[in-house]
Chains A and B, each alone.
Chain A
Amino acid sequence: MEQVKLKSLENSSAINVFKKFGILKIYLVMTGLYMVSGLIQPNYFSVDHIMQLLLISSFLGIVAIGQTLVILTGGLDLSVAYMLNLGAVIMTQVSVEHGGTIALLVMLSAGLVFGALNGIGVAYLHISPIIMTLAMGSILKSVTYVYTSGNPKGTAPEFLRFLGTGSFLGIKMAIWIWILLSIFVVVLLSKTTFGRKLYSIGTNANVSYLSGVKNNYIIILVYMLSGLFSVLAGMMLVGYYGLSYIGMGDTFLLPSIAAVVIGGTSIMGGRGGYAGSLAGAVIIYILMSITTVFDMNDAGREIIYGLVILIVLFLYSREANKR
C-alpha cells in the first residue's frame, strides 16, 4: 500500500516528474522507435514527416487528454468514440444552417452535457464507469444516427479548414492547438487543487471523501472535460477532412486507452499524467508508420499493435507481487 501523499508537491519540479513516473523512459521509447522507423525508411527523418506524424497524432492526443483525466480517477470512458462523432456531425450540419460560431457553441455544450450525464451516472447512480460510458456510447451512437439520418450533410466551416490544414510559423495549426491543450491539462493536473483532488480520488476514493474532497463534483467535472475534449477532437478532424461521416470516432476508442496505458498511467487510477499519454499517442502512430513501410496489411498492424502494448506493460506496468 503506497502512502497517500500530496501529489502536487512532488510535481513541483519537472525533474521530479520525470523521476516519479518514469516519463523519461516513455520518451526514450518514443525516440528509439522513431529512430528505428527512420533507419528503415530514411525519408522519415525529414521535417515534413515529423510534422505529418504530429499532425496525425494530434487528434488521438486530444481524445487521450480526456481519457487520461478519467483514468486517473479510476474510471474509463468508452463513450469517446461517439462523443467525437457527434461533435463532428454537429459541426458540419449546424454550421451549414447557422454559421460556425453557433455550431461551435452547440457542439461544446453537447460534449459538456453528455459528459455530465456520464459523470452523474458514475457519481450518483453508482454505475461502474465502464458500463455507464458503454451505455452512453450506445445512446450517442443512436443520437448521431437519428440526427444525421445516417448520412451527415454539410462541410467544414472556413475557420475550421484553417485550423485543420493551415499553418502558423511553419507549424500546422492542429499541432499548435494540441500543444496549447496539452499545456493546459498538464498545468491543470500539476498546479491546481482540482488536479490534486483528481489524483486523490484515483488513489483512494474513501480517503479522499473523508479529507473533505467533494468526490462527486470532481468526477462529474472530469467526465465533462472528457466529453469536451472528445468533441474538440471531432471538430479538428472535421477541419482536417473537410467533412464528417458516421463512424469517424471508431478508430479512436481503444487507441485512446492504449495511449494512456503506454504513457505509464495506471489503469487503476491515481498514478500517471498527461505527458506520458502524449508520447503514447505519438508512439502508436510511429508504429503505424513502420507498418506502412513494410507494406503490412491490417492483419500485421493489429498484431504488432497488440504486441507493443504487451511489451510496454512488461516494461513498466507490473504490479507488485502481493503474495
Chain B
Amino acid sequence: MNRFRDFLESVFYRRNKEAILAYVILLAILVLYSLNQNDFFSRYGSQSIFNQVITLVVASLAQTLVVLTRGIDLSIGAMIGLTNSIAATIMEPISNMVTNQWLGIIITIFIVLAVGCIAGLLNGLIIVFGRFQPIIVTLATASIFGGIALYIRPTPGGSVPYVYSEVLTGRILTFIPVSAVVLGIFIFLVWFPLRRSKLGQSIYAIGGNEYSAFVSGIKINRTKLWAYTLAGLFSACGGLLLTAQTASGDPLGSNLFTLNSIAAVVLGGTTLAGGRGGFVGAVAGASILSLVLGLLIFWGIPSFYQNAVQGLILLLALSIGVLPQLGRKLKFLKVNGKGETP
C-alpha cells in the first residue's frame, strides 16, 4: 500500500495522470485482442501490432509538441505525405548513383529529415513572425505541402529498396519487432530527454500561461519555432516509417494522419488549451485508434463502423471527467469561446 502511495506521489504519476484513462482503454483492447487472436503472443502478432501503431504514434509526438504550446498543426498529414513521396521517389535513384544501397538509404533519410525540418520551420516562422492563428496557417501550408508532394509524385507509386522495408518492419533477435524498438527510442531517447530539457520546460510553460512564461524570461518565439520545427522533423520520421511499410509513396493518402493525430493526442489526456499532458498518453491514444479496426475485423463487424467507434471512444473518454458535474450548474464556461484555441 505504501508503494502505491509513493507511486501516486511520484513525479511520473503527477506528470502523466491524464494518460491513465487512455491506458485503461488500451489495456482493455489488448485483452480483447489476446482473446481473439491466437498468435497474439507469438512474434508475428506483436510485430503486426507495433507496425500498425508506429506511424500514428510518431505523428502524435509531432502534434503533441505543438498542442502543448497552445497551437495546433493541421499540416502534419501533408508533411508525412510530402516526405513519403520524396523518399519513395529518390531512394532508389540515389542508391543506384552512389552504387551502395545502405549509403543511398542513409543519404535519403538525411534529405527527407531536412525537408521535414524546413517545412516545420516554415510553419513556425509564419505563425511566430506573422502573428497569425496556427490553425489557419497550417491549413494553408498543408495545401502547399500537399501540392509540392503532388508535383513530386502525381500518382501514388514509386518504390524503395527491398532491404529498407525489410529492416524497418522486421524483427531483431528473431522476436523483438523493429517497430517496438523505434517506439522505445521515441519514448525514452527522444521524449523523456526533451521533456526534461530547457526547451521542453519552456514548451510547457508557454502552454500554461504565455504571459507568465514571457515575464519569467522564457524566449517565446524561439521556443515556438523549435516546437513547430520538431513537429516537422517527427512528421518526416513518420513519413519514413510509412514509406517502409507501404514500400511506395502516396502524396495525399496521409491526410488522415492530421485529424487522427489530434484525436490521439486529446485521447491521451493532452488538452488543446496547452500546457498539460504529454507524449506518454498520446502513445496510448494513437494505439487505441489504430487497433480498433483489428478488433472489428475479428468480430466480423463491417469496417464501415470503424470511424463511429473511434469517434465514440474519443467522446466517451472526454466526457467521463465532466459527467459527475453535469447535475451541478457550471459557473463559467471554461471551454467555449475563449477558453481554448478553436
Contact = CB atoms under 8 A, between A and B. Distances in A.
Interface of A: 71, 73-76, 78, 121-132, 134-139, 141-143, 145-146, 149-150, 201-202, 204-206, 208-209, 215, 219, 254, 257-258, 261, 267-270, 297-307, 309-310, 313-314, 317-323
A120 B135 CA distance: 23
Interface stretch (B101-109, B194-202, B259-267): B259-267
Contacts of A127: 315, 318-319, 335
A147 to B, nearest CB: 9
Contact of B272 (A131, A201, A258, A321): A131
Given A125-B322, A206-B338, A298-B147, A134 B126 contact: no
B260 to A, nearest CB: 9
B147 A302 contact: yes
Residue among B141, B259, B330, B342 with the highest chain A CB neighbour number at 10 A:
B342
A21 to B, nearest CB: 17
A298 B147 CA distance: 7
Given A130-B272, A142-B306, A135 B314 contact: yes
A250 B309 CA distance: 20
Contacts of B337: 73-75, 201-202, 204-205, 208, 269-270
B307 A138 contact: yes
Contact of B130 (A307, A313, A322): A313
Interface in B127-141: 130-133, 135-137, 139-141
B333 interface: yes
Given A134-B263, A139-B307, A319-B131, A124 B326 contact: yes
Nearest to B221: A323
A300 B136 contact: no
A131 B148 contact: no
B154 interface: yes
A132 B154 CA distance: 34
B190 interface: no
A323 B308 CA distance: 44
B315 A121 contact: yes
B312 interface: yes
A125 B147 contact: no
Closest 3 CB pairs of A and B: A302-B147, A306-B143, A142-B308
B336 A201 contact: yes
Contacts of A74: 336-338, 342
B335 A257 contact: no
A224 B286 CA distance: 31
Contacts of B130: 310, 313-314, 318
Contacts of A137: 311
A16 B149 CA distance: 44
23 contacts: A125-B318, A126-B333, A126-B335, A128-B342, A130-B72, A131-B314, A134-B259, A135-B312, A138-B314, A146-B302, A204-B337, A206-B332, A206-B333, A215-B336, A258-B136, A261-B136, A268-B133, A298-B147, A299-B151, A299-B154, A303-B148, A309-B136, A319-B131
Contacts of A146: 302, 304-305, 308
Interface residues of B, number: 59
A323 B332 CA distance: 28
Given A132-B315, A139-B308, A306 B144 contact: yes
Given A126-B334, A130-B262, A299-B150, 8 more contacts: A73-B337, A134-B259, A145-B307, A150-B304, A201-B336, A254-B139, A299-B148, A303-B147
Interface string B149-180: 11100100000000000000000000000000
Given A201-B337, A205-B333, A130 B144 contact: no
A142 B342 contact: no
Contacts of B142: 254, 306
Contacts of B149: 299
A128 B342 CA distance: 7
Contacts of A150: 304
Nearest to B272: A128
Contacts of B136: 257-258, 261, 267, 309, 313, 317
A267 B338 CA distance: 11
A321 B131 contact: yes
Given A205-B338, A261-B136, A138 B311 contact: yes
A111 B259 CA distance: 22
Contacts of B141: 306, 310
A7 to B, nearest CB: 15
B263 A302 contact: no
A229 B307 CA distance: 23
Nearest to A127: B318
Nearest to A208: B337
Contacts of A132: 315
Contacts of A129: 336, 342
B67 to A, nearest CB: 11
A141 B311 CA distance: 10
B310 interface: yes
B214 interface: yes
Nearest to B342: A76
B340 interface: yes
Contacts of B151: 299
Given A127-B315, A138-B311, A146-B305, A310 B342 contact: no
Most chain B Cβ neighbours within 10 Å, of A135, A136, A297, A310: A135
Given A132-B315, A139-B307, A314-B130, A122 B336 contact: yes
Contacts of B336: 73-75, 122-123, 126, 129, 201, 205, 215, 219
